Structure 1
Amino acid sequence: MQQPMYVLSEDSTRTRGRAAQDSNVAAGKAVAEAVRTTLGPRGMDKMLVDSTGDVVITNDGATILQEMDIDHPAAQMIVEVAESQEDVVGDGTTTAAVLVGELLARAEDLIDDDVHPTVIVEGYAEAARLANEAIDELLVDDDLDADLLAAVAESSMTGKGTGDVAARDLAALVVEAVERVVDEADGEATVDRDRIHVHPRTGAASSATELVEGVIVDEEPAHDGMPRSVDDATVAILDTKLEVRQGDVDAEYSITSVEGLNAAIEAEDAELRGYAETLAAAGVDVLFCRKSIDDRVAGFLADAGIVAFESVSSADASDVADVTGAKRLGTLDDIEADDLGHVESIDVETYGDDDLAFVRGGDASRAVTLLVRGSTDHVVDELERAMHDAVDVVVAALDAGGVVPGAGATEIAIASHVRGASAGVEGRKQLAIEAFADAVDALPRTLAENTGADPIDTLVDLRSRHDREGIAGVIAEGRSARVGDPLAAGIVDPAAVKREAIDSATEAATMLLRIDDVIAAE
């Protein structure tokens, strides 16, 4: 039989068969190990320093993997799993990454025992289906009231630089923010996540974090003479410059007299003053301009009692438009009342050396902002990530199917259910299903290890209590942990986070296991 011929460039390298599988598995396990110690409420942080010296301190799995300089294509797939988990449900990124590594490690053992990768893939797919069955059986039947949602938010934030007391207080703010934007339609609650903003600001402790009804624009007035507070304000949003118009054709003007110079200056002033007069005549109290504003225009606006903000980002302009109902205008010509928005108040407040514009209330739509405070840039950055995750998991709990016990209890239940069902599967696929259960068991074992408890003894206790009482989790206490009821301890997670972690980790692991040939162009 004629052997196939491959035509590759001289700079290409090829890895085939078991060597390719070993390389991919090793890469996956290495990425999982990099984030394993961050898992859980007592997880440790990572300090990431890039080539320019910028430092990021975090235990957020998605952030760690994004900041790492990863070249191996298999490892990059695990980074994509974490990013997908973050985008879809906002939390569980470390869980997903660790689970991929464990699935690959168990598969490696099966391959050593001559189990074909295709059989492992089929077994993992069946095990993932069984895992989702277990998650459905664990759903908490209680209504998702404020207390239960606060427990979801607190579980997400605990261990992410917030401290236990701060996490409890911040969780209450998160729930309040979500409740402000809940729409009740046809008996179902829906949440527009885009109406919840998180704005970080250094200079105070996390206890100073507050909820603002409206949005915050990180800009100061274009002129010192402008008002710093306006009530019942009419708002305009402009996407063009307020400067002297420039012609499309290069031209030079010859001025030969003082009178001609004065006339030119007066013409410019008249044009610039006209901008302010047009806005004032339209009843505008506050202007948000995407582009620059000439200093003279700013002065004329100040004389007219109009507050103007220049060089506003497109995102901020869209947020202001959303909360006020104003349209983004490309010109000041023919401004109509429908083009303008209205807001209860706009206040410019000083935080440290910076001014922030608070746009509160609005008659066109609703939006809220969590003003997150922290003592240093590193602290406030981590708190911002924690608050984003907390908002996402509360929204996921409301929109995507309720909550399940946390603290590893769901993983123990999944492993037990999968392992029990494997007995009814014939052939070598049973080994893969059992390996999947062992991989899931690694998550509560890691939780225990990160709290300082003995991982093997804790896992044995978890299985025993689960068999007796149907629920068992790792409850962190001080520098150690105990096995108990996570629901009684108020530790719950969105079911959507568990489902996404199982599904995305299984898909990534099976895709890598099916690769037996790697061709790389160097």
Structure 2
Amino acid sequence: MAQLGGGNQPILILPEGTNRLLGRDAQRMNIMAGKVLAETVRTTLGPKGMDKMLVDSLGDIVVTNDGVTILKEMDIEHPAAKMLVEVAKTQEDEVGDGTTTAVIIAGELLKKAEGLLDQDIHPTVIATGYRQAAEKAQEILNVISIDADDRDTLLKVAMTAMTGKGTEKARKPLAELIVSAVKQVEEDGEVDTDHIKIEKKDGAVVDDSTLVQGVIIDKERVHPGMPSKIEDAKIALLNSAIEVKETEVDAEIRITDPAQMQAFIEQEEQMIRDMIYKVEDSGANVLFCQKGIDDLAQHYLAKAGILAVRRVKKSDMEKLAKATGAKVVTNLEDLSFNDLGQAGKVVERKISGDDMIFVEECKDPKAVTLLVRGSTSHVVDEIERAVDDAIGVVASTVEDKKVVAGGGAPEIAISKGLKEYADSISGREQLAVSAFAEALEIVPKTLAENAGLDSIDALVDLRAAHEKSLYMGLDVFKGEVTDMYRAGVVEPQRVKKQAMQSAAEAAEMILRIDDVIASTGAGRAEMEGMEGMGGMPGGMPPMM
């Protein structure tokens, strides 16, 4: 990157090999990347969406139509495309569903912006218009939302989230389990979804999935001599090892007599024995240890009839504490009866060839476990993703107590409201607001396309139906416009709110970029590809 100075002497500003795209070129490339990414996940939207098969460098296969999973598994290089992946990740973290919706709205906003840029409208004006439109969209969304958090609505929300995600046959029983799980861990109107553990095992049908009022630990008891089932369990949680501590400094013990050696060994044994006595004295008959348990300690625990599990994950220890009411004890010396938790029974069961510890029948547990079953590992993985999404949306509904109709109904209603709003404002921002309104129609349009319907006819019918009711959406199974709220297709307000907000902000950020400088090394390959528009058929920038 050089500039001629006095005496035609080049002045180097950026190191040699740096690639740079300026102004319209930078915007064009970034918009192209956003559009390609949106097109990639677009076919997965809705109940009739298709799946993607992703194969990594090791040959591991993921088959899914979950937007955020696809974007995480794809090896995306393009910097602007990475910004849209962040939109999907944020949507997943905040709500748990609507990732594909967020990305395709962002992609469509960029596409509409390209048309405005071609009309010589400044990117800042477009960004300002988009921000105004996003704020107005939130207002309209509040108007069209319905107050509801009864069990029936929650079941509908869960079933809507799982439709078209490989859980079709068992949607209703799974929804029942999910709603029960969310309601169980709810505290003061708040739901921490981390307290719902999803344990997945293949080798059975989806209908065999169960909700355990407690925690499943994917471990086995440490000694075969221990009981495999304990009724009326008194549970101790320990996060220190049951073994003789090694000295922290190097110490040398000189033994001059075999009797001293024997005494030394006996002393170590006595220390272990005292530790086990401490567990017995507390009244515990089940012990979960976060660290190791010495072989000798295992023997004494088995003799005492205590079921023990070692190397339990920290997250599982926290869930056990929430479910049983036990306190996690750091020092064994401090263990007392008051630190113990209660459970109806603790039992070891063999599930799909693996031993697992079930801590069941806890009294009002604030942590529960969903045991998800499926015929093969790929099937059960996809069911787990669907269940995870459904837990997120049910939790959002419980917290916000607001839902909207599905099937593209809110997008059409907001689009209609934004077009009316655009007519009321002056200046070039009016064009950006109108573009935002049109961009939202990508959702019902994509739903129609993925169901094999005519997207133009579907949009025309939807717009006409919205003159009568705000809840009219596209029933992709019947191929007609219907009242989605009555049909039981409902989504949490938060899904739409977050999707529109993050899509608008991401599009705004990408539009403001007018200079892309990629230094030698990491960003070089994609910049070279961008300049030549090579790497993908149809002149798309390389992303993978």
Identity over the aligned pairs, expressed in percent?
49
Is 1:269 the equivalent of 2:269?
A: yes
User: Which residue in 2 is equivalent to 1:173?
Assistant: 177
User: Which residue in 1 is equivalent to 2:510?
Assistant: 512
How far apart are the structure 2 equivalents of 1:38 and 1:239? 44
User: Which residue in 2 is equivalent to 1:151?
Assistant: 156
User: Which residue in 2 is equivalent to 1:71?
Assistant: 77
Paired letter, 2:150: D
> Given that residues 325 and 363 in structure 1 are in contact (C-alpha distance below 8 angstroms), is that contact kept between their aligned partners in structure 2?
no
Deviation at 1:98, TM superposition (A): 0.4
Paired letter, 2:131: A
How far apart are the structure 1 equivalents of 2:39 and 2:466? 27
Paired letter, 1:486: M
Cα offsets for 1:414-467 (capped at 9, x unmatched): 111111221112122111111111110111000000011111111111111112
Paired letter, 1:178: V
How far apart are the structure 2 equivalents of 1:294 and 1:337? 23
Deviation at 1:117, TM superposition (A): 0.7
So what's the TM-score if we normalise by structure 2? 0.90
User: Which residue in 2 is equivalent to 1:379?
Assistant: 379
How far apart are the structure 2 equivalents of 1:500 and 1:317? 33
User: Which residue in 2 is equivalent to 1:11?
Assistant: 17
Compare 254-263 and 233-242 and name the one that shifted more.
254-263
How far apart are the structure 1 equivalents of 2:364 and 2:337? 14
> Given that residues 233 and 285 in structure 1 are in contact (C-alpha distance below 8 angstroms), is that contact kept between their aligned partners in structure 2?
yes
User: Which residue in 2 is equivalent to 1:53?
Assistant: 59
How far apart are the structure 2 equivalents of 1:166 and 1:476? 20
What's the C-alpha RMSD, in Å, of the aligned pairs?
2.0
> Given that residues 214 and 324 in structure 2 are in contact (C-alpha distance below 8 angstroms), is that contact kept between their aligned partners in structure 1?
no
Deviation at 1:358, TM superposition (A): 1.4
> Given that residues 326 and 341 in structure 1 are in contact (C-alpha distance below 8 angstroms), is that contact kept between their aligned partners in structure 2?
yes
> Given that residues 85 and 93 in structure 1 are in contact (C-alpha distance below 8 angstroms), is that contact kept between their aligned partners in structure 2?
yes
Paired residues in the alignment total 513
Paired letter, 2:158: A
User: Which residue in 2 is equivalent to 1:20?
Assistant: 26
How far apart are the structure 2 equivalents of 1:470 and 1:352? 48
User: Which residue in 2 is equivalent to 1:316?
Assistant: 316
Deviation at 1:263, TM superposition (A): 3.0
How far apart are the structure 2 equivalents of 1:337 and 1:12? 68
Paired letter, 1:403: V
Summarize the alignment of residues 83-98 of structure 1 with structure 2, pairs less than 5 Å apart. 83-98=89-104
How far apart are the structure 2 equivalents of 1:363 and 1:468? 50
> Given that residues 149 and 401 in structure 2 are in contact (C-alpha distance below 8 angstroms), is that contact kept between their aligned partners in structure 1?
no
Paired letter, 1:169: P
Paired letter, 1:507: E
How far apart are the structure 2 equivalents of 1:200 and 1:134? 40
User: Which residue in 2 is equivalent to 1:229?
Assistant: 229
User: Which residue in 1 is equivalent to 2:457?
Assistant: 457
Describe the shift of the 1:77–1:268 C-alpha distance in structure 2 as closer, same or farther (beyond 3 A).
same
How far apart are the structure 2 equivalents of 1:198 and 1:483? 36
Name structure 1 gaps, 5 residues minimum: none
User: Which residue in 1 is equivalent to 2:204?
Assistant: 204
How far apart are the structure 2 equivalents of 1:3 and 1:509? 37
Deviation at 1:256, TM superposition (A): 5.9
Paired letter, 1:155: T
How far apart are the structure 2 equivalents of 1:150 and 1:110? 43
Is 1:99 the equivalent of 2:97?
A: no
Equivalent residue of 2:467, what SS? helix
Is 1:497 the equivalent of 2:495?
A: yes
User: Which residue in 1 is equivalent to 2:536?
Assistant: none
Deviation at 1:235, TM superposition (A): 1.6
How far apart are the structure 1 equivalents of 2:378 and 2:179? 25
How far apart are the structure 1 equivalents of 2:308 and 2:269? 18
User: Which residue in 2 is equivalent to 1:132?
Assistant: 138
> Given that residues 200 and 384 in structure 2 are in contact (C-alpha distance below 8 angstroms), is that contact kept between their aligned partners in structure 1?
yes
